[in-house]
Amino acid sequence: MERFSLDAAHLLAGGMVLVSFMMLYQNRILGLLNVFAAHAVVLSLSVAWQAYIQSAPHLFVTAAIALILKAIIIPVALHHMVVRLGVHRDIETVGGIGPTMLMGIGLVALSMVVMLPAAAEADPIAREDLALALSVILLGLLMMVTRQNAISQIVGFMSLENGLVLAATGARGMPLVVEISVAFSVLVAFIVIGVFLFRIRERFDTIDTQALDDFREGRE
């Protein structure tokens, strides 16, 4: 039973890494949002499994928050935002999809090399989960750096936060009050960013960050 618990926990955490790569591969905004919803579903399943094997009922609340907020509310809201902004187009990636995927593989390898020895004395479940969670965090950061579209950068930020939640639940170190405050902080940040996106779209007729940089350089 213990071996099955380990394998299931690692499978779900590894599934999050796989879905992170799927997000890096996406070149359409709506497709990216659909994959992010799947990312949140896998996170909620992983947290729910951790709640079961740790006998920690409060983690079921965390899993429900991830499912409702990140797998349903935020993707649906972003879908509506994309429709209203009229940005049904390809996502421009710095350097192209291929090099980005290769950099992602390198970051996952780096996470394993750094985290596994550093957490050698930790619980077996926590050790591998922390390495996989760091991979998810770095892949989310990579998406934020390599994507020039503001919406895709928002998705990268939220996938990074999913990695933080995975790390905290796997390490058994985040109280429920902190989890709820983080979830609502993400929701507030999402609302604020949405308002700014509409204002940027009205002012510059684009949400491409490269175009905004070009405009700033032209003013200087």
Got the DSSP string for 94-133?
TT-HHHHHHHHHHHHHHHHHHHHHHTTTS-HHHHHHHHHH
Does residue 194 form part of some domain? yes
| 169 is a domain residue | yes
Residue 84 lies in a domain: yes
Q: How far is CA 182 from the centre of its chain?
A: 14
| CA gap 101, 149 in Å, rounded | 18
Q: Is the pLDDT score of 174 beyond 60? A: no
* Domain hosting residue 100, numbered range: 2-214
Number of domains the chain is built from = 1
- Could you tell me if residue 220 is inside a domain? no
219 in a domain, yes or no?
no
Rounded to an integer, what distance in angstroms lies between the CA atom of residue 161 and that of residue 27? 22
Please write the tens of the pLDDT for every residue from 84-128: 776 656 666 777 788 889 999 999 999 888 887 776 666 666 777
Domain-embedded: residue 153? yes
Q: What is the pLDDT of residues 187-207, one digit of tens each?
A: 666 666 665 665 555 555 555
